[in-house]
A and B are shown apart, each in its own frame.
Chain A
Amino acid sequence: MFKMVENVLKNLVSKPATRNYPFDKREPFKDSRGHISGCDIDVCIFCGMCQRKCPANAIVVSKPEKSWEIDQFKCVICNACVEVCPKKCIFSSAEHKSAQSFKDKLKLVQASKPVEGAEQNA
């Protein structure tokens, strides 16, 4: 009985255990796997390791097109791609993604580099 009173008083005085979520968000933990936020496309060598290791087939890499594409709705955020990337150019963000109203894929295309020596010839 005494314990119960103690518990009741504690619950009356202390703050609620929950947060007023959409207005009051907790900071994400440092190494939390929130979502794959993108890829440094200028560094990417299009080896396709991330595509092969992805258990959800969410990543599509095209060497001829020089493109890297992720379907965030397929991604299971296991971070296997981040670990396997030889150039360490895939970024994982600690922040969780919020609700989306469109299903567009995140597609990054490397800008074609100017061919060396082309300018001098012109």
Chain B
Amino acid sequence: MSSTVIPFGPQHPVLPEPLHIKLVMEDERIVEAIPAIGYVHRGLEKLTETKEFTQNTFVVERVCGICSVMHAMAYCQGMEELMNIAIPDRAKFLRVIWAELHRMHSHLLWLGLLADAFGFESLFMQAWRNREKVMDIMEETCGSRVVISANIIGGTRRDLSKEQMVKINQIVDEIKEDLEQLESVFLNNYTVKHRLVGRGVLTKEDAVEYCTVGPMARASGISMDLRTTGYSAYGQLDFEPIIHSDGDNYARTYVRLHEIYQSVDLVKQAIAKIPEGEHVIPVKGVPPKGDVISRVEQPRGEVLYFMRGNGTKTLDRLRLRTPTFANIPSLLKMLPGSELSDVGMLILTIDPCISCTER
């Protein structure tokens, strides 16, 4: 049978970002997927080599808006390790609170986009209405909605007052309540399940082979969550990675939805356990010669930072690998064999962030 090539993207209604995939089709089935990325390369890694190491915190935050806190967190943790700085305990807990709030808003955004992709507009609006509450917390506590610039080397830029923490506690409870109403629609609705169950299956063996990370890996039954390594204050909090064994679209929705509940729980735990004291310490000197690797669990999976200091204010090299970059091979594994009408959903369920990938 002769094959046809259908281009997906770079502009496509399901994604706001430019991802181009050539789909080699036989009838309605995909036999091969050839990716082409590089439409939004901004040269941020090169830019970090010209900026001072303190300014880089603001540069890496702009790699990706949705996970800006975690980018800055990974960079700051790495630099603190390189420069041998022990940050105050309160700063560690504050970082966890903001990071988990960020995970909540990222997953709520994704749930909304998922609903939008299968054409459930009212569900999309309900998910985003919920998300708006998190965005308001961000603006109130940090001064900005998305790129909140909460982390600096040596701690955090702002502190949380007692009243703010009480308020955050209330709002995350509200979000949990609202989400419980939406949960049954996402997980039990007949029509929604028809688009999710059994589509885009990634087996555990394939997930291991293609080095899948984050919720994708957890939905395929791999118990891999970097937070369990106990970086920042995660070591003092009690949680278990959320795992599903099916590896299909439904499993990925299940994992992300339940991670919002987990984040609510983590925020509440961190607020209950946060110690008193300083939230930042002054940093003196410059990064010494040496290499450091820092890894952090983002909403989409593991992000890896490599930094090389040379004894001056600027870094020799900053290299970062984002979760979407790691997940694209598994997407290409999932696409062959599926139908053309499922392509949008499949690409969406890896939670792609193309601007992250291309930096």
Contact = CB atoms under 8 A, between A and B. Distances in A.
A78 to B, nearest CB: 5
Contacts of A7: 181
Interface stretch (A28-36, A37-45, A64-72): A28-36
A7 B129 CA distance: 14
B139 A3 contact: no
Contacts of A32: 139-140, 143-144
Contacts of B51: 55
Contacts of B84: none
B54 interface: yes
B144 A77 contact: yes
Contacts, number: 43
Nearest to B58: A55
A53 B144 contact: no
A79 interface: yes
B54 A53 contact: yes
8 contacts: A3-B181, A29-B140, A52-B52, A55-B55, A55-B58, A76-B147, A80-B55, A83-B157
A70 B126 CA distance: 40
B184 A53 contact: no
Interface of A: 3, 7, 17, 29-33, 52-56, 76-80, 83
A53 B55 contact: yes
B143 A76 contact: no
Contacts of A30: 140
Nearest to A28: B139
User: Taking each of A30, A32, A55, A79, which has the highest tally of chain B beta carbons within 10 Å of its own beta carbon?
Assistant: A55
B112 to A, nearest CB: 13
A3 B58 contact: no
Nearest to B122: A11
User: Taking each of B125, B129, B139, which has the highest tally of chain A beta carbons within 10 Å of its own beta carbon?
Assistant: B139
A100 B55 CA distance: 27
Nearest to B51: A55
A52 B314 CA distance: 13
Contact of B132 (A17, A31, A53): A17
Given A31-B143, A32-B144, A77-B144, 12 more contacts: A17-B132, A29-B140, A31-B140, A32-B139, A33-B143, A33-B144, A33-B149, A53-B54, A55-B55, A56-B58, A76-B147, A83-B157
A30 B139 CA distance: 9
Interface in B139-166: 139-140, 143-144, 147, 149, 157-158
Nearest to B158: A31
Nearest to A76: B58
Contacts of B143: 29, 31-33, 79
A31 to B, nearest CB: 5
